[in-house]
Amino acid sequence: MNMRVDHRQALQTALSPQMLQSVELLHMTALDLHAFVAAEVEQNPFLESDGPAPTPTAPAAGPPPPGRGAGAGGASDFDRAALVADHLSLHESLEQQFGLLTRDPVLRHIGMHLIRALTPDGYLDDPLDLIALQAGTNPLRASEVLKMVQSLQPSGIGARNLAECLALQLRENNRLDPAMQALLDNLPLMARGDLAALRRLCGVGEDDLREMFAEIRRLDPRPGRAFDSAPLQLVVPDVFVTRAADGGWGIRVNEAALPRVLVNMSYYHELRRDLKSAENRSYLSNRMRAANWLVQGLDQRMRTVLNVATEIVRQQADFFDGGIERLRPLRLRDIADTLGIHESTVSRVTSNKSMATPCGTLPMKFFFPTAIGSAGEGGSHAADTVRHRIREIIKAEPARRPLSDGAIAARLEAMDIRIARRTVTKYREAMNIASSVERARQAARRPAA
């Protein structure tokens, strides 16, 4: 019988309890942090809470649109709010999203009229002509702005009927092909279960038709209802970004929303003086060590969040000055390398955290958009910026000679944005903008000026 003994060496990194606690604190939201600290204070005799947890307050009325000088007049609104509601009403959420979509005051005015006309289910029941009259515009312009509203979340919002609601959701998922459109055009036949007629109209077999049925049933016919049924969630802005007196940006941690604890050293010495047992003395020492770790961990968390937020604002300064079209691609690694910390630390800091800015209360992850390649040496571009450019190109195109997706891709390349035609198509459809063929048909149906 042969016996073999292998010796292997391996390096392992063991995190100390203090390091583990620091990692956990960094990943917590402010509300989770309050709950954690309250539990620690309850079980540790040497910890004392220094003040009550913050009381939820109503969010400021809609944030100003992103753009130059947006922070000059709105900073005090954010200073007054230690907490803002993450679960807004349907209309509040859409208005905030629309404010990020465009800075044009006319488009914002029309968009607000359309949003406020939506039913709780998210449908636009009022005639578009009537809304256009109320907004002081023409139906054609109102129809164009409605497409912008329909590009917002939740998907399917702003539809005028069930078929359009389902089409919007399918288009966002790149699932609205001619067969599916034919099915949507004949929903009464689906309700009656007339498979033979639908197979003929859609040009598909029975198995394909049943898969299409299943896909339709997975969609949400009442997208606005999610705002009424979801429980209230509160998000605490971890950082405030406000316009500074010198025209730059001031960044500060929302200290009012952070738990504050004190270590009662006198009580510790008083108890320790009267104890004789080594076991009891060891217990007190461990409790005191845990109390000090917590205080140090909270301080380190605050400094790390502030450092990361400051670097985000520095690298995205163009966004704060110029709006969504100037948002640049940014990676977690970019922040980590600049600050000399690990990328996972930046990931923990930016998860479940938000920044109250003059452009609205935004999740930190918002500032890390997907990158689109550059055609030259100008670096990459944020996907949100590219979508904005596509919208602007289509807005400026000749009404009766709309640009194809290939032509739009060529225009973008001239702007130093390298993007494939199919990507233009994907972005255009996600924004609920019709194809060039359909835009040409729409232009042909309009009365001559």
- Same domain? For 287 and 326 the reply is yes
Taking 50 as the threshold, does the pLDDT of residue 249 lie above it?
A: yes
In a domain, 36, yes or no: yes
Domain interval for residue 428? 371-439
pLDDT, tens only, 188-241: 888 888 888 989 999 988 888 888 888 888 888 888 887 764 444 556 789 999
CA-wise closest residue to 216 among 152, 178, 165, 150: 165
- Stronger pLDDT, 59 or 137, i.e. the higher one: 137
In a domain, 101, yes or no: yes
pLDDT tier for residue 34 given thresholds of 50, 70 and 90: confident
Q: To 10 degrees, what angle do helices 278-315 and 17-27 make?
A: 40
Quote helix, strand, coil % in the chain, to nearest 5: 55, 10, 35
Alpha-carbon gap, residue 33 to 375, rounded angstroms: 45
pLDDT, tens only, 299-343: 999 999 999 999 999 999 988 888 777 788 888 999 999 999 998
pLDDT of residue 19: 72
pLDDT of residue 335: 93
**Percent of the chain whose predicted confidence (pLDDT) is above 70:** 82
CA-wise closest residue to 399 among 345, 441, 341: 441
User: What is the residue-averaged pLDDT of the chain?
Assistant: 79
Alpha-carbon gap, residue 315 to 350, rounded angstroms: 15
Q: What is the mean pLDDT of residues 291-300?
A: 91
In a domain, 448, yes or no: no
pLDDT of residue 372: 63
- Same domain? For 340 and 415 the reply is no
Strand bridging mode 234-235 / 84-85? antiparallel
pLDDT of residue 145: 93
- Same domain? For 225 and 92 the reply is yes
Please say which residue of 324, 351, 367 terminates a domain.
Answer: 367
Alpha-carbon gap, residue 38 to 219, rounded angstroms: 42
Q: What CATH number corresponds to the domain at position 400? A: 1.10.10.60
pLDDT, tens only, 42-66: 888 888 887 655 544 333 333 333 3
Sorted by sequence, the CB contacts under 8 Å of residue 362 that are 6+ apart come out as 354, 355
Taking 50 as the threshold, does the pLDDT of residue 443 lie above it?
A: yes
Work out the angle at residue 393's Cα, subtended by the Cα atoms of residues 412 and 111, and round it to the nearest 5 degrees: 135
- Same domain? For 130 and 223 the reply is yes
Please say which residue of 305, 340, 367 terminates a domain.
Answer: 367
Alpha-carbon gap, residue 255 to 239, rounded angstroms: 9
Alpha-carbon gap, residue 350 to 346, rounded angstroms: 6
- Same domain? For 342 and 414 the reply is no
Q: Which long-range contacts (CB under 8 A, 24 or more apart) does 370-374 make?
A: 370/329, 371/329, 371/331, 372/329, 372/417, 372/418, 372/419, 372/423, 373/417, 373/418, 373/419, 374/416, 374/417, 374/418
Please say which residue of 170, 194, 229 terminates a domain.
Answer: 229
In a domain, 419, yes or no: yes
- Same domain? For 119 and 206 the reply is yes
pLDDT tier for residue 157 given thresholds of 50, 70 and 90: very high
Residue 419 region, left (φ>0) first, then alpha (ψ -120 to 50), else beta? beta
pLDDT of residue 224: 86
In a domain, 62, yes or no: no
pLDDT of residue 134: 80
pLDDT of residue 315: 92
In a domain, 431, yes or no: yes
- Same domain? For 362 and 376 the reply is no
pLDDT tier for residue 357 given thresholds of 50, 70 and 90: confident
Q: Are 110 and 137 in contact (CB under 8 A)?
A: yes
pLDDT of residue 75: 30
- Same domain? For 250 and 280 the reply is yes
Number of structural domains (the chain) is 3
In a domain, 258, yes or no: yes
- Same domain? For 269 and 390 the reply is no
pLDDT tier for residue 144 given thresholds of 50, 70 and 90: very high
Q: What is the mean pLDDT of residues 405-431?
A: 83
- Same domain? For 93 and 115 the reply is yes
Q: Which two tokens stand for residue 327?
A: 């948002």
How many CA atoms lie less than 13 Å away from 218 in the CB half-sphere? Answer: 10
- Can you give the pTM of this predicted structure? 0.52
Taking 80 as the threshold, does the pLDDT of residue 276 lie above it?
A: no
In a domain, 241, yes or no: yes
Q: What is the mean pLDDT of residues 273-279?
A: 80
Q: For CA atoms 80, 82, 85, 86, give the dihedral sign.
A: positive
- Same domain? For 362 and 385 the reply is no
- Same domain? For 277 and 204 the reply is no
pLDDT of residue 447: 66
Q: Which two tokens stand for residue 53?
A: 């947890």
